[in-house]
Structure 1
Amino acid sequence: MSIPDITDSANYVKSVLKAFAILEQLDSAGEMSIGELSSRLSMNKATVHRLVSTLKHAGYVNQNQDTKKYSNGMKLLTLGNRVAERAGIRRVARPYLEELAKLTGETVNLGIKAGDRIIYIDKIESKSTIKVGLDIGTSIPMHCTGLGKAYLSFMPEEEVEELINNTIFERFTEHSIVDKDTLRTSLLEIRERGYSIDDEEYVIGLICFGAPIFDYHGNPIAAVSVSCPKYRVESKHQKIYADYILGTASKISRQMGYSL
């Protein structure tokens, strides 16, 4: 195991690469001492000790109190599980997204949280001549989208508050929520009924219905939505779309290990 060569050092932090090299070495070799890591990685002992101490403090490395050697911590496993879940969600969700698209005839979206934004990771576009939707890979604020609000509503309260208090609420349309208390009230309503509505909050003329997807712990890991031109959705259709979206989210959640 070695540290990658850096041709453009201005764009990289060498200490971060060294820390990852340590984690990869521990992953392949199990418990190792500072001296063993230093020798294996051709790295100064003082540097190894400083980096390992930092990783230990952050919870990514454990120290055996008997041997004084180091190994990777459970925090890495937790992160790995989350990445695996998110990578797998698109494959698992796809047939259910296709089913939802057939039921509604509208554009169906799948998104995951990234900081204070939601990223669209999959989409099935409506076959209608007039259609709406955002491209896969698009990232937009959570407070003004069906996907984002559905996800946000079921996050732990302290995480929601942290996000709300650290977010600058951008106004995209006259219907965008830009007040913290208004958003809190909206999130409570969404949590009670189980699904979100984005009624022209991000794009004028666009309405979206969203619902969260849960993992086996009952935590939101993604969200699914139906997007369509508002003129195509009469009030009587809203409940139908809501039932469809809740059913789809429930099916995907069960596939991800969630049970009520």
Structure 2
Amino acid sequence: MVSKKSAPVRPVEDDAPPADPLFNQSLEKGLAVLHAFDGAHRTMTLAEVAARAGMSKASAQRTVHTLQVLGYVGKHEQTRRFQLRPKIMDIGFNYLASHPLVQVANPYLAQLANASGETASLTEPVELDMLYVAQRVTSQFIPVSTPVGMRIPMYCTSSGRAWLSSLPTDEARAMLQRSRREARTPATLTNVNAILARVAACRKLGYAYNAEELFLGDMGIAAPIIDGKGRALGAVHVAPPTSRWSLEAAQKKLAPMVIECARAISSAISH
């Protein structure tokens, strides 16, 4: 299975004066070190951590030592390279455990997965990405691994386009213009107007789609989740693989299920 390519870590300037007197630069450095680890950088030397986090080796050493003492970072027994420790999961779990949308959505995601036979997921917006916050996996083979906690770009995904469809066109355009619209596959739409046309279609049809724009062999059918005030909180989607579905068949059979699931979650979260 394939996982998402890691995003670059934002550099931390060691000696930059704080623009905000309440801003804690030590905490920023600690978070930068934690973000430096990902699927492509599971273990690292101190120099590698410093480079990935954008700080000096001396600053990285102090930060890594503090995180070691707190139990969030440790050393691999054989290689002696630094790696994340299981305690880091506490932070993400606490967010999910207290997230009202996740709690409401789970039974509806289960129903969608059972009815469609495909993995059903819940995502919410984070900057220019959509973040997986809940998922129900079926026994069917899926070519792409998209676990809870993974971020995917809005511009080339069904869930991102579904969420963008809730925004005024000018706001959606501005977000797309700020995105790094890379051609992830030969099918990826990168032109802003072309993507906005798909977003506009979602407003009309009630669902958005992508066909092998993020990963080859993978499609997406998504619908937005709207609260009682008309704000989009996230999106629900299924990911039918091209090995089992044509786009036309997925749109005909799965789109109504996804729309109904999103409406049910929207109604439940509004009460």
- Structures share fold, TM-score greater than 0.5: yes
CA RMSD, aligned part only?
Answer: 2.5
In structure 2, the residue matched to 1:214 is 226
Amino acid in structure 1 at the alignment position of 2:146: L
SS of corresponding position for 1:232: coil
Q: Matches of residues 1-260 of structure 1 in structure 2 within 5 Å?
A: 15-16=21-22, 87-130=99-142, 132-234=144-246, 235-257=248-270
SS of corresponding position for 1:147: helix
Shift of residue 10 of structure 1?
7.7
Unaligned runs of 5+ in 1: 1-8, 19-82
Shift of residue 126 of structure 1?
1.9
Q: Between the two proteins, what is the percent identity of the paired residues?
A: 27
Unaligned runs of 5+ in 2: 1-13, 25-94
SS of corresponding position for 2:239: strand
Shift of residue 240 of structure 1?
1.4
- 2:143/2:217 contact within 8 Å kept: no
* 1:12 to 1:220, Cα distance in 2 relative to 1, 3 A: farther
- 1:173/1:202 contact within 8 Å kept: yes
* Richer in helix (by share): 1
Q: What CA distance in whole angstroms lies between the structure 1 residues aligned with 2:252 and 2:108?
A: 19
Instruction: Give the aligned length.
Output: 185
- 2:156/2:189 contact within 8 Å kept: yes
- 2:155/2:179 contact within 8 Å kept: no
Residues 229-238 or 209-218, more deviating: 229-238
The TM-score with structure 2 as length reference comes to 0.63
SS of corresponding position for 1:228: coil
Q: What CA distance in whole angstroms lies between the structure 2 residues aligned with 1:106 and 1:12?
A: 50
Q: What CA distance in whole angstroms lies between the structure 2 residues aligned with 1:130 and 1:111?
A: 18
Shift of residue 15 of structure 1?
2.1
SS of corresponding position for 1:171: coil
- 1:131/1:228 contact within 8 Å kept: no
* 1:104 to 1:12, Cα distance in 2 relative to 1, 3 A: farther
Larger Rg, first or second structure (1 or 2): 1
